[in-house]
Chains A and B, each alone.
Chain A
Amino acid sequence: DQQVKQNSPSLSVQEGRISILNCDYTNSMFDYFLWYKKYPAEGPTFLISISSIKDKNEDGRFTVFLNKSAKHLSLHIVPSQPGDSAVYFCAATGTASKLTFGTGTRLQVTL
């Protein structure tokens, strides 16, 4: 039972354009959402998070949008850079604090 889903296993975007990564969840008890970036042979690196009381959080080139009614969140990266090429995991948590991860989206930013 995949409670957090990332339906696009891969995404290719040109440098300078916007990358949009999507994530859906089913558990209405989740109230905090995070995006992690992962390079091969490294652990996930925290990027940005959002609480369920907000609908947008911005940090530099990264913006996360949350639509609670649709149980959907998205990560926007603009402008995309070649160094952004990695696997991006969406994660969700509730009061238990353990993270439930999505299956990941591999982003490739091309020149």
Chain B
Amino acid sequence: AAGVIQSPRHLIKEKRETATLKCYPIPRHDTVYWYQQGPGQDPQFLISFYEKMQSDKGSIPDRFSAQQFSDYHSELNMSSLELGDSALYFCASSLGLNGATQQYFGPGTRLTVT
């Protein structure tokens, strides 16, 4: 079965550079979530989209922005990168926007800022 695809899997950037992470949800899933997991920490919710509209916002810095496109894939744009942005970024997708809906996670993008 098709899973959530994230690209790239690994990314190394320097401070103050920009990065774009991509997420391709499971076919027919219309909801995408982004999470950030710092070293030794639990995944923290950043932002979510349902039917191409932002549905919820968590602890996402103003330097980050995201959107969901007409084919339901999503991109997380990160500017003025800081060392503290080094983390594993997970994307998850689900069918529908419902608290009881299971979210399927991608393998993550490991971002290293040097």
Residues in chain A within 8 A of chain B (CB atoms):
4, 31-32, 34, 36, 41-46, 49, 51, 89, 93-104
Task: Mark contacts of B41-73 with chain A using CB atoms, 8 A cut-off: 1 yes-contact digit, 0 otherwise.
Answer: 111110010000001101000000000000000
B99 at the interface (CB under 8 A from A): yes
In-complex Cβ contact of B107 among A42, A49, A89 (8 A): A42
Residue among A32, A41, A97, A102 facing the most chain B CB atoms (10 A cut-off): A97
Q: Which B residues fall within an 8 A CB radius of A?
A: 4, 31, 33, 35, 41-45, 48, 55-56, 58, 90, 92, 94, 97-108
Q: Judge whether B101 and A97 touch: CB under 8 Å.
A: yes
The CA-CA distance from A110 to B78 in the complex, in Å, is 42
12 contacts between A and B (CB under 8 A): A31-B99, A31-B100, A41-B107, A41-B108, A42-B107, A43-B90, A46-B105, A96-B99, A97-B31, A98-B48, A99-B33, A99-B92
Pair A34/B102 contact, Cβ less than 8 Å:
yes
For the complex, what is the distance from the CA of A34 to the CA of B92, rounded to whole Å?
A: 14
Instruction: Determine the chain A residues whose CB is within 8 A of the CB of B97 once the complex forms.
Output: 97
- Whether B99 pairs with A89 at a CB distance below 8 angstroms is no
Residues of A within 8 Å of B4, CB to CB, are: 43
